[in-house]
């Protein structure tokens, strides 16, 4: 009997085209100073909770846990670069956003209560722009305002050319 198919999954915020355009422009500006490999515009996202590799039957559990999230829509404002030198990652960051922290907390609690083991890593709101980059002094950039109205469940498929992402679930946030 064959083992059940496994999927590499995570929950994320996925920007609309206008926000993606602004983030891609910030990535190009950082790339000009730092080199490295730019993330594809259509794959830019903010990971909320990384689930990891799970068997196909677990996907329904993830959908149920996400459906129990009760949070209002909110706005993020990305306006700064950061860099993790050891990993060669340049990222875009935003000011503290309690609604984002609440969304991540609710989602993680719901997943844990559903019996899923999650990485015990502190959440760090960032959006990866470059990989394999040299960290350099980077100026701040004009704020990119991101109205967050939903969160998504994403399947990641790795290949030699990078990861390809497919959104396999969407959950709207309530109008405040």
Q: Model confidence over 56-79: pLDDT tens digits?
A: 889 999 999 999 999 999 999 999
Residue with tokens 């704020």: 143
Q: How far apart are the first and last CA of the chain?
A: 50
Q: Is residue 13 part of a domain?
A: yes
Give a yes or no: residue 163 inside a domain. Answer: yes
In a domain, 1, yes or no: no
Q: CATH no. for residue 115? A: 3.90.1140.10
Which residues have CB under 8 Å from 147's CB, separation 6+?
Answer: 16, 73, 75
Q: Could you report the per-residue pLDDT of 133-155, keeping only the tens digit for each?
A: 999 888 888 999 999 999 999 99
Residue 80 CA neighbour count, 13 Å, CB half: 8
Which band of pLDDT confidence, cut at 50, 70 and 90, is reported for residue 21?
very high
Return d(Cα 118, Cα 107) in angstroms, integer. 11
Q: What percent of the chain has pLDDT over 90?
A: 79
> Does residue 26 lie within any of the structural domains?
yes
Condensed to tens digits (0 to 9), the pLDDT of residues 104-133 reads 999 999 999 998 888 777 888 999 999 999
pLDDT above 80: residue 52: yes
What DSSP string describes the chain?
-PPPPEEEEEEEE---HHHHHHHHHHHHHHHHHH-SEEPPGGG--EEEEEEEEEETTHHHHHHHHHHT---B-EEEEEEEEEEETTTTEEEEEE---HHHHHHHHHHHHHHHHTT----------EEEEEESPPP--------EEEEE-EEEEEEEEEETTEEEEEEEEEEEPBP-
- Identify the domain containing residue 91 by its residue range: 6-172
In a domain, 61, yes or no: yes
User: What pLDDT is stored for residue 81 in this prediction?
Assistant: 96
Number of independent structural domains in the chain: 1
Whether 137 is in a domain gets the answer: yes
Q: Give the contacts of 64 (CB within 8 A, at least 6 positions apart).
A: 114
pLDDT above 60: residue 1: no
């Amino acid at each position: 009997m064959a083992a059940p198919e496994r999927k590499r999954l995570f929950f994320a915020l996925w920007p609309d085209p206008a926000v993606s355009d602004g983030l891609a422009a910030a990535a190009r500006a950082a790339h000009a100073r730092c080199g490295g490999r730019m993330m594809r515009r259509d794959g830019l996202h903010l990971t909320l909770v990384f689930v990891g590799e799970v068997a196909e039957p677990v996907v329904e559990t993830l959908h149920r846990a996400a459906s129990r999230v009760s949070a209002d829509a909110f706005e993020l404002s990305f306006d700064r670069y950061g860099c993790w030198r050891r990993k060669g990652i340049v990222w875009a960051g935003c000011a503290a956003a309690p609604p984002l922290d609440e969304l991540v907390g609710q989602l993680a609690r719901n997943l844990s209560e559903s019996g899923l083991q999650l990485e015990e890593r502190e959440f760090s709101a960032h959006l990866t722009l470059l990989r394999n980059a040299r960290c350099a002094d980077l100026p701040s950039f004009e704020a990119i305002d991101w109205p967050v109205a939903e969160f998504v469940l994403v399947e990641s498929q790795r290949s030699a050319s990078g990861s390809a992402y497919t959104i396999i679930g969407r959950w709207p946030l309530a109008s405040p």
